[in-house]
Structure 1
């Protein structure tokens, strides 16, 4: 199976977002076009320079992407709308990166946009249900995983809540984040309890927003005069779906398998990664996933977090954007927004959220299915 390492180099050269926010009366078109225009301006190109486009969304419906992009001009480019639950944006980015790497185009747009509408879940209509599906909502599922983790590792509710304290602190300095307020441990632990020991501030808000990135080949960089110093290379794109994992939690095992594949594609190890954007819809997820990705030993994530290993300035800056807990999780844009944050970090443009000397970054998204996508990006070398 071919990977990005077998094809021509591909780079992210432009990033843009519409701030994630609570549901409003704002049209998804307004959300999406702001992100695209910002990405085009960041890359220093115009819409007619874009040769293909992929739009990730989960909620806004059929043909929404094409109807939105026509406001930039009907240029006749190849286009596809991508739905892959929470991983929709990550999947759109994967398609754009592979298309450019394969030589089909030199300039591609990957974006995500969503606004809260009617939830329509395919698995609920598939006819094949788990025995306890009707008894466990997502927050209940993760509350049970939280209790299991505490029982097995000795971690306390306070230690797990510190994931949210860190991510709210990071989000407070991110102008695109839905939650922009520093929170104390006492505030994070305060009621209401959502399920088990999980409080409201340990759970992601689902609102609306948009994110966009411009992907280019080396030929595109030359043709459009893109400075190499601002071109961040995509080293790996790994995508996997459900398979039998025995008694281990499926999302955790899937994360481990997908991340190992990405490491192999990029010829890197966990110690090489400076910045990590993780699917942390609930605080326990960050701890489970950083262990699965090899950033610490099993059972030690809570203690490592408490020691500052995952802070900005620590061994690995985990979710410097604020993560899903503070940045927000509007579904379609989330994975593209993660890429935008890593690119910002690797360019050294993240301001007070900047991880010092960041050279390598990783994004991780899990979606209903389950599916998992992991991307690894590297800062420019010249």
Structure 2
């Protein structure tokens, strides 16, 4: 990037079922909190980027008008689960290229509008027409992984146990109680081998981060900050026929490019917020992000190397499994967690001396694609 970009404030609301709230009602409180935290006025904002998937037309404008934030470009971003992270990528690119100095990024979603169950996918997709839903896709990934490698259903459950243990420390998490291995294994079956507690919950939420150029950071006197060391967005490529579901190539490729841009290696990371929509996802992403060789993710998990006190803390927020997954908000919430960790503001879940953080989110179930989008950010304490 030609100009350094910094995150100088973050805010969010607790994820959960906010049935009486609108998209505007969800997003306005963290928007106000983040702007106050950054010490910026409405007149300081050069652009607003809003990630959401189901909010309808002009969601961003409807939010901004409630606080009188107008005239500046407001861009609505829909990239499925990667919407919020893509909004951060767009803001980062604009600042790095010198087009703007201050950007507000909002991620927001209200999934209770669908009444529960799996999220609706595009009715035009040929696999959706045949009845495919995301839990089934990840169940197939899990079945293949357990068949090919030395992994068991207990390992899938261990991911959820770790997520809930981390989430219990996070006041913004949808689920804040720990669970046992037996509770996960014996919870209701969703799509074999996945049980209910191996699947992320649906819910509502919003998160906001403020991004600025180095010039704006100096002008604002922002001492609490993290630098965007890498911002990578990939779209999937079409590959018909056989595909190795245990090796998500879009994440492998995005991670390779992100590490190269940041100039670091996986071993340098102190924390990762990854897209653990289902427990099997965390295992395959250990490998895709370079933490383990293909087929050996369970070794990290069993040895406690991806929790507090280990090599790298994966999903200190509780991840999607515990924190929740209001899809448009998730990528921004990941960046918020990274900000709090790298600035020493994470409270009971603080990682000691955290310097490097990676956030990763994928989006979309589309026939012929591994995923529709993958966004990875690497942040450095500033």
Q: TM-score range by the shorter chain?
A: over 0.9
- The reply on whether 1:37 has 2:32 as its aligned counterpart is yes
Aligned-partner SS, 1:113: strand
Q: Which residue of 1 aligns with 2:161?
A: 165
Give, in whole Å, the separation in 2 of the partners of 1:50 and 1:170. 34
Aligned-partner SS, 2:291: coil
Structure 1 206/120 Cα, relative in aligned 2: closer, same or farther at 3 Å? closer
- The reply on whether 1:14 has 2:9 as its aligned counterpart is yes
Q: How many residues align?
A: 370
- Indicate which of 248, 255, 260 corresponds to 1:252: 248
Give, in whole Å, the separation in 2 of the partners of 1:373 and 1:199. 27
Aligned-partner SS, 2:307: coil
State whether residues 251 and 366 of structure 1, in contact with CA within 8 Å, keep that contact through their aligned partners in structure 2. no
Structure 1 278/77 Cα, relative in aligned 2: closer, same or farther at 3 Å? same
Q: Which residue of 2 aligns with 1:80?
A: 75
* 5+ residue gaps, structure 2: 367-371
- Indicate which of 276, 291, 295 corresponds to 1:295: 291
- The reply on whether 1:180 has 2:182 as its aligned counterpart is no
* 5+ residue gaps, structure 1: none
Q: Which residue of 2 aligns with 1:307?
A: 303
Q: Which residue of 2 aligns with 1:239?
A: 233
- In the TM superposition, what are the counterparts of 1:59-70 in structure 2 within 5 Å? 59-70=54-65
- In the TM superposition, what are the counterparts of 1:1-382 in structure 2 within 5 Å? 4=1, 7-116=2-111, 117=113, 123-125=122-124, 129-130=126-127, 134-227=130-223, 230-244=224-238, 247-249=243-245, 252-368=248-364, 369=366, 370-380=372-382
Post-superposition shift, 1:75? 3.6
- Root mean square deviation, CA, Å: 1.7
Post-superposition shift, 1:23? 4.3
Post-superposition shift, 1:154? 1.8
Give, in whole Å, the separation in 1 of the partners of 2:194 and 2:130. 20
Post-superposition shift, 1:120? 8.8
Pick which of 158-167 and 348-357 moved more. Answer: 348-357
1:134-188 deviation digits (Å, cap 9, x = unpaired): 2432112211211211111121111111000000111111111111111111111
Pick which of 252-261 and 141-150 moved more. Answer: 141-150
Post-superposition shift, 1:213? 0.2
Post-superposition shift, 1:288? 0.3
Post-superposition shift, 1:264? 1.0
State whether residues 180 and 326 of structure 1, in contact with CA within 8 Å, keep that contact through their aligned partners in structure 2. yes
Aligned-partner SS, 1:285: helix
State whether residues 6 and 226 of structure 2, in contact with CA within 8 Å, keep that contact through their aligned partners in structure 1. yes
Give, in whole Å, the separation in 2 of the partners of 1:21 and 1:306. 30
Q: Which residue of 1 aligns with 2:369?
A: none
Task: Report the TM-score, using the length of structure 2 for normalisation.
Answer: 0.93
Task: Report the TM-score, using the length of structure 1 for normalisation.
Answer: 0.93
Give, in whole Å, the separation in 2 of the partners of 1:247 and 1:224. 50
